[in-house]
């Protein structure tokens, strides 16, 4: 026999080490998430421990005014409203355009067109968000102002559109992936029944890929909710409840930026309030994920 | 590359002149034998038909006639071009870049290779069943209703009736009538394939193309499909590609043997399997190669 027998002990040890390392890596993200939740909870409780803050005011008041004036107000809804407004604008821009682009890339475009369009979208995904913020402030806002003078230099529309452009590649490339994952045999079946390309795309491929498309939508919306660089630059800093896209709004993330960039002393109630806002943001994105999971289970068309 | 054969004039043959009836009544079974012999209308006529994938010639100058309301089996080893040929009949090859064809391919006198042919209309007349059952991830009902809904507007009651008729014709009605709203994917492979046949029938085709419809099924389901094919032959012109020689012998009236892009021999199935004229055909049907 050629060759020297390898040590069984060494092999066993090596396998054990590898398993331990894999488990460690897998645990790490759970550990980080756990830590974040613990800190958020602790600091949020600290915020509500202040004598002039109550849970009733946090959810019952419609005024958010922690920094200026003699009387501070901590009603969360103006920040939630600003966040939802920007999110809605971003979503109503990015979701349809992203899905249409994905359908075009997956079902219509020739390989040559795709080889140009896909990298272009990926470049879009690589642009730092601060650049989008500048783009919103210096390009989108002036364009909106040309359209109608109702738009101020800070407005929700501009921030929402820039955020929409930012999440467009997420919607598009994730949707496209799930469209392309639909087996060719389903398309063949629909074509063989006399379906046009549009019939096949809309009645067979999109329904079959729906779970992936919904996942793409939700990830994009979560990103839009959590967007932190575009909104302070383009949407402004006035926390108010409004559905007017031309108005200046403050989002939850924009408030956090304002606080952590040093507008408040690190011990004061204003500073602590940011943790409560962050906890609220966390709850919102968590709820979005849950709704998403539920939608997936409810509407899923599984193939194979 | 072989020279293209001259294209024969398309509207001469008396047997193919005149439009085919669209929805054919069932063949009266009482005098089935004599009538079957009498009604040998050519449904599909092939003359000097060649096809290419880019520079590769897949089919070389085929001449063949397929009879209306009969079963024609296309046999031959893998890569011989039989599936390619089948996919020309409903122009499924259109979606393959570089695929082209020359010669004559006619369905009831209509030139199937014409640029101006309405492919959607063609596919309404020529249904297809695939190798692997490919029901849509929708309900059983919606699968069958899919094709009809593409082409016409139906009332609820009309659609219900059409779905039932199609499922009955595909011999699957009794198995699914109580769960039409259930997902088609909850059916077994053999049931799925019969559902796909019902789906194809629902559009009201004249021709059914079947591309190895049983190759993914177990023997029992295969038998069910074979029996179904026999009953369907009363109403539809069926062209079936199969790897299974026994299957060809069992279900078909006519058989065409393909080898390396050539049509080696075609004729009545019984003749082909008992007294083949060609040595290659004999070797293949007796299992000496392939």
Is B228 a member of any domain?
Answer: yes
The dihedrals phi and psi of B57, each to the nearest 5 degrees, come to -90, 115
Whole-angstrom Cα distance, residue B159 to residue A25?
Answer: 56
Whole-angstrom Cα distance, residue A130 to residue A143?
Answer: 19
Is B132 a member of any domain?
Answer: yes
- Contact between residue B162 and residue B148 where contact means Cβ atoms under 8 Å apart: yes
Is B225 a member of any domain?
Answer: yes
Task: Identify any residues that bridge with B241 across adjacent strands, giving them in sequence order.
Answer: B74, B211
- Contact between residue A292 and residue A284 where contact means Cβ atoms under 8 Å apart: no
Mutation to test the A interface, candidates B150, B200, B201, most A Cβ within 10 Å: B150
In this structure, the answer to whether residues B128 and B152 fall within a common structural domain is yes
Name the residue facing B123 among A183, A193, A203 (closest C-beta). Answer: A193
In this structure, the answer to whether residues B149 and B99 fall within a common structural domain is no
- Contact between residue B135 and residue A193 where contact means Cβ atoms under 8 Å apart: no
Q: Is residue A195 left, alpha or beta, with left meaning phi > 0 and alpha meaning psi from -120 to 50?
A: beta
In whole angstroms, what separates CA A217 from the centre of its chain? 9
Is B244 a member of any domain?
Answer: no
Within an 8 Å CB–CB cutoff, is residue A196 touching chain B? yes
Full set of structural domains in chain A with CATH = 73-299 (1.10.3720.10)
Confidence category of residue A228, pLDDT binned at 50, 70, 90: confident
User: To 10 degrees, the CA torsion angle through A97, A99, A105, A109?
Assistant: -70
Q: What is the mean pLDDT of residues A146-161?
A: 92
In this structure, the answer to whether residues B229 and B281 fall within a common structural domain is no
Q: Are strands B254-259 and A64-65 parallel, antiparallel or unpaired?
A: unpaired
Confidence category of residue A204, pLDDT binned at 50, 70, 90: very high
- Nearest-Cα distance to chain A for B212, in Å, is 14
Q: Count how many domains chain B has.
A: 2
Confidence category of residue A301, pLDDT binned at 50, 70, 90: low
Nearest CA in chain A to B144: A193
Other C-beta atoms within 10 Å of A298: how many?
8
Asked if pLDDT for residue B177 goes beyond 80, the answer is: yes
In this structure, the answer to whether residues B171 and B266 fall within a common structural domain is no
- Nearest-Cα distance to chain A for B65, in Å, is 23
**Joined tokens for residue B52:** 């290419």
- Nearest-Cα distance to chain B for A298, in Å, is 13
- Nearest-Cα distance to chain A for B134, in Å, is 6
Name the residue facing B138 among A185, A192, A301 (closest C-beta). Answer: A301
Q: What is the mean pLDDT of residues B129-141?
A: 95
Task: Identify any residues that bridge with B52 across adjacent strands, giving them in sequence order.
Answer: B57, B100
Burial of B266 (0-12, 13-18, 19+ CB in 10 A): buried
Express as a percent the part of chain A with pLDDT over 70.
97
Task: Identify any residues that bridge with B263 across adjacent strands, giving them in sequence order.
Answer: B258
In this structure, the answer to whether residues B122 and B100 fall within a common structural domain is no
Instruction: Specify the 3-state DSSP secondary structure of A14.
Output: helix
From chain A, pick out residues whose CB is under 8 angstroms from the CB of B130.
185, 188-189, 192
Mutation to test the A interface, candidates B83, B134, B211, most A Cβ within 10 Å: B134
The answer for A 228-247 residues in CB contact with B (under 8 A) is none
Sequence-ordered list of residues with C-beta below 8 angstroms from that of A190, at least 6 positions apart, any chain: A199, A200, A203, A204, B136, B146
Q: What is the mean pLDDT of residues B220-238?
A: 93
From chain A, pick out residues whose CB is under 8 angstroms from the CB of B138.
207, 301
Name the residue facing B120 among A183, A185, A194 (closest C-beta). Answer: A194
- Contact between residue A178 and residue A299 where contact means Cβ atoms under 8 Å apart: no
Asked if pLDDT for residue B12 goes beyond 70, the answer is: no
Task: Identify any residues that bridge with A74 across adjacent strands, giving them in sequence order.
Answer: A64
- Contact between residue B42 and residue B223 where contact means Cβ atoms under 8 Å apart: no
Express as a percent the part of chain B with pLDDT over 90.
77
- Contact between residue B152 and residue B121 where contact means Cβ atoms under 8 Å apart: no
In this structure, the answer to whether residues B130 and B103 fall within a common structural domain is no
Whole-angstrom Cα distance, residue B19 to residue B22?
Answer: 8
Instruction: Specify the 3-state DSSP secondary structure of A35.
Output: helix
To which H or E segment does residue B209 belong?
strand B207-211
In this structure, the answer to whether residues B67 and B138 fall within a common structural domain is no
In eight-state DSSP terms, residue B252 is: -
From chain B, pick out residues whose CB is under 8 angstroms from the CB of A179.
none
Express as a percent the part of chain A with pLDDT over 90.
60
CATH number for the domain including B134? 3.40.50.300
Residue entry with tokens 């006035």:
A238
Residue whose C-alpha is closest to residue B42's, from B68, B10, B71, B24: B68
In this structure, the answer to whether residues B218 and B277 fall within a common structural domain is no
Other C-beta atoms within 10 Å of B6: how many?
9
Q: For B48-201, where are the alpha helices, taking DSSP H only?
A: 82-89, 119-125, 140-151, 156-169, 173-176, 189-201
In this structure, the answer to whether residues B113 and B128 fall within a common structural domain is no
Complete DSSP assignment for A48-68: HTSTT--HHHHHH---EESSS
Asked if pLDDT for residue B206 goes beyond 50, the answer is: yes
Q: Which domain holds residue B64?
A: 39-73+95-117+253-290
Question: Which stretches of chain B sit within 8 Å of chain A by CB?
Answer: 90, 92, 95, 120-124, 127-128, 130, 132, 134-138, 146-147, 150-151, 183, 185, 196, 199-200, 203
Within an 8 Å CB–CB cutoff, is residue A188 touching chain B? yes
Q: What is the pLDDT of residue A11?
A: 93
From chain A, pick out residues whose CB is under 8 angstroms from the CB of B95.
191
**Joined tokens for residue B100:** 């082209």
The 10s digit of each residue's pLDDT in B272-281 is: 999 999 999 9
- Nearest-Cα distance to chain A for B147, in Å, is 5
Residue whose C-alpha is closest to residue B172's, from B145, B202, B193: B193
Report yes or no on whether pTM surpasses 0.90. no
Q: What is the pLDDT of residue B39?
A: 54
Q: What is the pLDDT of residue A69?
A: 67
To which H or E segment does residue A30 belong?
helix A8-48
Q: What is the pLDDT of residue B25?
A: 39
Within an 8 Å CB–CB cutoff, is residue A301 touching chain B? yes
Q: What is the pLDDT of residue A304?
A: 53
Q: What is the pLDDT of residue A300?
A: 65
In this structure, the answer to whether residues B228 and B140 fall within a common structural domain is yes
Sequence-ordered list of residues with C-beta below 8 angstroms from that of A83, at least 6 positions apart, any chain: A225, A251, A252, A253, A281, A284
Name the residue facing B203 among A194, A203, A207 (closest C-beta). Answer: A194
**Mean of per-residue pLDDT scores for chain A:** 90
Asked if pLDDT for residue B56 goes beyond 70, the answer is: yes
Is B199 a member of any domain?
Answer: yes
- Contact between residue B207 and residue B123 where contact means Cβ atoms under 8 Å apart: no
Residue entry with tokens 């026994």:
B246
Is B16 a member of any domain?
Answer: no
Is B203 a member of any domain?
Answer: yes
Asked if pLDDT for residue B23 goes beyond 60, the answer is: no
In this structure, the answer to whether residues B65 and B99 fall within a common structural domain is yes
Asked if pLDDT for residue A68 goes beyond 80, the answer is: no
Q: What is the mean pLDDT of residues A36-60?
A: 89
Nearest CA in chain A to B119: A194
Sequence-ordered list of residues with C-beta below 8 angstroms from that of A75, at least 6 positions apart, any chain: A57, A58, A59, A60, A61, A62, A63, A64
To which H or E segment does residue A281 belong?
helix A269-299
Q: What is the mean pLDDT of residues A101-120?
A: 93
Is B271 a member of any domain?
Answer: yes
Residue whose C-alpha is closest to residue B211's, from B255, B256, B241: B241
From chain A, pick out residues whose CB is under 8 angstroms from the CB of B120.
194-196
Please count the residues of chain A.
304
ipTM: 0.84
Q: What is the pLDDT of residue B265?
A: 94
Q: Which residues of A173-210 are buried (b: 16+ CB within 10 A; e: fewer)?
A: bbbbebbeebeebbbbbbbbbbbeeebbbebbbbbbbb
The 10s digit of each residue's pLDDT in B245-277 is: 889 999 999 999 999 999 999 999 999 999 999
In this structure, the answer to whether residues B125 and B215 fall within a common structural domain is yes
Asked if pLDDT for residue A294 goes beyond 90, the answer is: no
- Nearest-Cα distance to chain B for A198, in Å, is 11
């Amino acid at each position: 026999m050629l060759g020297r027998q390898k040590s069984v002990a060494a092999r066993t040890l090596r396998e054990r080490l590898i398993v331990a390392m894999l488990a460690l890596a897998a645990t790490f993200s759970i550990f980080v998430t756990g830590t974040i939740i613990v800190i958020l909870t602790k600091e949020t409780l600290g915020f509500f421990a202040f004598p002039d803050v109550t849970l009733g005011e946090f959810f019952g008041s419609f005024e958010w005014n922690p920094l200026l004036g003699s009387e501070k107000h901590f009603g969360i809804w103006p920040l939630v409203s600003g966040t939802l407004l920007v999110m809605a604008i971003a979503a109503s821009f990015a979701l349809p355009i992203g899905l249409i682009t994905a359908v075009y890339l997956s079902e219509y475009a020739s390989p040559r067109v795709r080889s140009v369009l896909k990298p272009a979208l990926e470049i879009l995904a690589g642009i730092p968000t601060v650049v989008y913020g500048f783009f919103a402030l210096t390009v989108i806002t002036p364009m909106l102002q040309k359209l109608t003078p109702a738009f101020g230099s800070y407005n929700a529309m501009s921030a929402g559109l820039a955020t929409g452009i930012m999440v467009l590649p997420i919607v598009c490339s994730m949707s496209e992936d799930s469209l392309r994952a639909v087996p060719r045999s389903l398309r063949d079946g629909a074509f063989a029944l006399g379906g046009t390309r549009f019939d096949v795309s809309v009645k067979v491929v999109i329904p079959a890929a729906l779970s992936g498309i919904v996942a793409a939508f939700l990830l994009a919306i979560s990103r839009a909710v959590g967007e932190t660089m575009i909104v302070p630059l383009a949407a402004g800093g006035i926390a108010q409840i409004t559905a007017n896209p031309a108005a200046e709004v403050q989002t939850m993330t924009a408030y956090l930026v304002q606080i952590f960039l040093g507008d408040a002393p690190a011990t004061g109630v204003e500073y602590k309030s940011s943790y409560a806002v962050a906890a609220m943001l966390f709850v919102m994105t968590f709820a979005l994920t849950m709704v998403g999971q539920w939608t997936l289970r409810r509407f899923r068309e599984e193939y194979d | 590359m072989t020279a293209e054969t001259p294209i024969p004039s398309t509207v001469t043959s008396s047997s193919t002149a005149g439009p085919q009836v669209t929805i054919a009544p069932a063949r009266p079974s009482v005098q089935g034998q004599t009538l079957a012999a009498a009604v040998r209308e050519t449904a599909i006529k092939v003359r000097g038909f060649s096809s290419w994938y880019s520079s590769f010639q897949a089919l070389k100058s085929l001449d063949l006639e397929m009879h209306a309301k009969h079963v024609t089996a296309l046999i031959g080893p893998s890569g011989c071009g039989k599936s390619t040929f089948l996919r020309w009949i409903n122009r499924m090859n259109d979606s393959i870049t570089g695929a082209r064809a020359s010669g004559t391919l006619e369905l009831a006198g209509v030139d199937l290779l014409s640029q101006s042919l309405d492919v959607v209309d063609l596919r309404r007349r020529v249904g297809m069943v695939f190798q692997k059952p490919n029901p849509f991830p929708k309900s059983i009902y919606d699968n069958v209703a899919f094709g009809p809904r593409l082409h016409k507007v139906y009332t609820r009651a009309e659609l219900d009736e059409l779905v039932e008729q199609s499922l009955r014709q595909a011999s699957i009605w009794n198995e699914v009538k109580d769960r039409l709203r259930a997902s088609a994917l909850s059916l077994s492979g053999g049931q799925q394939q019969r559902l796909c046949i019902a789906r194809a029938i629902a559009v009201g085709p004249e021709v059914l193309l079947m591309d190895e419809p049983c190759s993914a099924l177990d023997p029992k389901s295969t038998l069910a499909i074979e029996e179904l094919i026999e009953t369907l032959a009363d109403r539809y012109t069926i062209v079936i590609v199969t790897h299974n020689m026994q299957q060809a012998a069992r279900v078909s009236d006519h058989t065409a043997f393909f080898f390396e892009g050539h049509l080696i021999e075609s004729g009545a199935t019984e003749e082909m399997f008992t007294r083949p004229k060609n040595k290659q055909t004999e070797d293949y049907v007796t299992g000496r190669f392939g």
